Amino acid sequence: MSDSTATTEAPAEQPSTDQESKPNFARLFGRYLTEANSVMVTIYSLLLAFLIGGVLLIVSDEYVRSTWSYFFSRPQDALLGSWYLIRDSYLSLFEGAILNLNTLDRFAAGDAGVGDLLRPLSETLTYATPLIFTGLAVGIAFKAGLFNIGAQGQMIFGILGALIVGFALDLPIWIHLPLAVLAGAAAGGLFGAVPGLLKATTGAHEVISSIMLNNIAALFLVWAIGTDFLHSELSTQLVTKGVDESATLPTLLSSLNETLRVNAGLLIGIAAAVFTWWLLSKSTFGFRIRSVGFNENASQTAGMHIGRTYTTTMAVSGAIAGLAGAALSLGVFSTGVTTSTPLQYGFDGITVALLGRANPGGIVAAALLFGALKAGALSAQPDVPVDISTLLQAIIVLFIAAPALVKAILHLRTPRGGLVTLEAKGW
């Protein structure tokens, strides 16, 4: 009898169910695209704004609008007319802000220079420069739970501070220019500290006080330009003296073409964005700002001085807005400032801060977008209504400020942390 060893075959190895159930990249990416997170809400807000803008372009054009009256008899007239109108309008905006295709053809043929090719981009960067500063000013206040609606007035005082130092002193450029820029920041910072101090000492809401201060600053600018000290002796119009050449911000691309207006203020704006990022994320003062903005009561319990934080935050915010004024009076308007020089850069900074989610990198990107819309709309006249730029900005802000609206329109999923909105306390 021989010994026999019983052998049993091991069961075949089953494929791991963990690998099958584990979501792959495509599934995760698709889930991200259908979620109402801050990034996708921003992207969808831009797309919806341009879509609604296209509809309004159709409604405002008499010829295209008339083609829809007989849509069912000849639908191609309405559809093609609407497509050509929207395509040409947005193409005009692109060519006025980024790259003119006709100029590109001329450049390829040797009939245009690099300066001609860069002119639209130069205008975009020129309009975006003050928006970077005012957007950062509003954004840093948002981080502390404050709504700095007074960036317009702070910018005006920055204009005056930089202007006075720019023409009243006779110094070498390596002293004069930095001193004029710092004077603009100091003037804006002092003016910005006022609503913060009022809130800290009396409880006055910064929105109300800063709105009043905006009016005061605008009227003060009108009075100041008319004084003998500031008014230009070379003009009968309401315009100031120009700053000295030693206090003028150098242009960046004028060697290619004298009409390219973008100047070193853009570099200062990028430096201000980097500084703001460092201040908020790496410094002790930035931690206090974020802590007070997140929970005022907990911060006070932890020993933080809430009133002092409000005042210093508004002062820093005003100083950054004052840099916008310095960039204007020492840059594009270095030959003289008028009452229309500030435009609406301070109020547009609120829009930029909202679109950028109060983050320095996002604010720079939003400022570039709005600068492109402004440059494109001005360049595309009369083919495209100039108000299309303001209209698109308003629609973008509407959707950015109301993420629940974007979520409802596109049937997006609620993100795990909930919808993210920017809020200011005290309402």
* DSSP notation for 318-363: HHHHHHHHHHIIIIITTT---TTTTTTHHHHHHHHHHHTTT-HHHH
Q: φ and ψ at 420, to 5 degrees?
A: -100, 125
Residue 353 vs residues 27, 63, 149, 424: alpha-carbon distances, Å: 32, 38, 11, 13
Compute CA distances 100 → 21, 91, 314, 379, 389, whole Å.
50, 9, 41, 10, 18
- Which of 51, 40, 37, 139 lies closest to 395, judged by CA? 51
pLDDT in tens, the chain (427 residues): 445 444 555 555 555 555 555 667 888 888 888 888 888 888 898 899 999 999 999 998 899 999 999 999 999 999 999 999 999 999 999 999 999 999 999 999 888 889 889 999 999 999 999 999 999 999 999 999 999 999 999 999 999 999 999 999 999 999 999 999 999 999 999 999 999 999 999 999 999 999 999 999 999 999 999 999 999 988 888 899 999 999 999 999 988 888 899 999 999 999 999 999 999 999 999 999 999 998 888 988 888 899 999 999 999 999 999 999 999 999 999 999 999 988 889 999 998 998 898 999 999 999 999 999 999 988 877 777 777 878 888 888 888 878 888 888 988 888 876 666 666 654 4
Smallest CA-to-CA distance from 294 within 146, 91, 143, 83 is with 143
Residue among 92, 102, 121, 65 nearest 383 (CA) = 92
Q: Which of 108, 26, 92 is nearest to 57 (CA)?
A: 92
Return the residue matching tokens 């915010």. Answer: 317
How many Å apart are CA 213 and CA 188, to the nearest integer?
12
The b/e string for 109-131 (b: 16+ C-beta within 10 A; e otherwise) is: eeebeebbbbbbbbbbbbbbbbb
3-state class of 248 per DSSP?
Answer: coil
CA atoms within 13 A on the CB side of 426: 18
Rg (CA), the chain: 27
Whether this model's pTM surpasses 0.75:
yes
Beta-carbon contacts of residue 249 (< 8 Å; ≥ 6 apart):
177, 263, 264, 265, 268, 327, 330, 331, 334
